Amino acid sequence: MRLLLLSDIHSNVEALDACLAAAPAHDVVINLGDMVGYGASPNEVIERSLGLGKIFVRGNHDKAASGGMDLRDFNPIAGLAALWTRDQLIQQNLEWLRALPRGPIQIADLPGMQFVHGSPLDEDEYVVTLRDAIEPLMVSATPLTFFGHTHLQGSFSTNDVASDAFRPEYRTIGQSETTEYPIKDGVRYMVNPGSVGQPRDGDWRAAFALYDSEARIVTFCRVPYNLKGAQERIMAANLPQRLATRLATGR
Ligand code: ZN
């Protein structure tokens, strides 16, 4: 089975469209949460996402925008964007967001894998370093966890303990690129496909991943997208300017 893994789209429909156009053939789409928040196209992103499949995990921004979380936990810019999003969402989308399942989730057809927004131990926890990853890696019910939340593409594993995280190394700045990462037997992994709509690893290109469960290969992908279009929409919506400028630097 070939899984298309999307996370942290953050209302960036330009980035989502570029990922879908570039995505290799796949059998199922898995969405790891934070569909909304920060960007200016929440309804469009939800409508596209609904058309892609049925497997979703909720993110903290999905909860915040649909009233399921205290905004005091958010920084002022994120809080403002959550309120703006809540205001923009049509009722049907608001209710759909509110009903999204909390991770980790497991799928009967996909044994040995689980899907979560933050950490398998806490859906809102940030797994940034190997130190953060060790406990969830060791105690998880399944050897392979796909997660998001940090907006940092890469992987932690019990095989890479000397080198902290695996981070794909890319050769270009503005072109489409892929990096393959094999999944080995007997090793436990936490794999982050990166953020579609607001990367924070210094690379502005939209990030996603494909996992081929027969070949046991994760393909990390980066694609350029209509950055200017996404920025203009944010400015036109009167969202904080920083939400537009940060997209250009991937921070
Ligand atoms: Zn996020």
- Say how many Å lie between the CA of residue 185 and the centre of ligand 1: 30
Residue that wins the pLDDT comparison between 163 and 133: 133
Report how far ligand 1's centroid is from the alpha carbon of 208 (Å). 13
> 107 alpha carbon to ligand 1 midpoint, in Å?
23
| Ion ligand 1: protein residues whose beta carbon lies under 5 Å | 8, 34
**How far is ligand 1, taken at its centre, from the CA of residue 149, in Å?**
5
What is the mean pLDDT of the segment spanning 110-121?
97
The alpha carbon dihedral of 109, 24, 149, 144 has a sign of positive
For 137-163, what is each residue's pLDDT tens digit? 999 989 999 999 999 999 999 987 677
Distance from residue 34's CA to the centre of ligand 1 (Å)? 5
Ligand 1 midpoint to CA 57 (Å): 12
pLDDT score of 209: 98
What mean pLDDT comes out for the span 238-249? 97
Domain boundary assignment for the chain: 2-249
CATH 3.60.21.10 fits 2-249, yes or no: yes
**What percentage of the chain reaches a pLDDT higher than 90?**
92
**Which band of pLDDT confidence, cut at 50, 70 and 90, is reported for residue 45?**
very high
Predicted confidence band of residue 226 (pLDDT cuts 50, 70, 90): very high
CA 43 to centroid of ligand 1, rounded, Å: 17
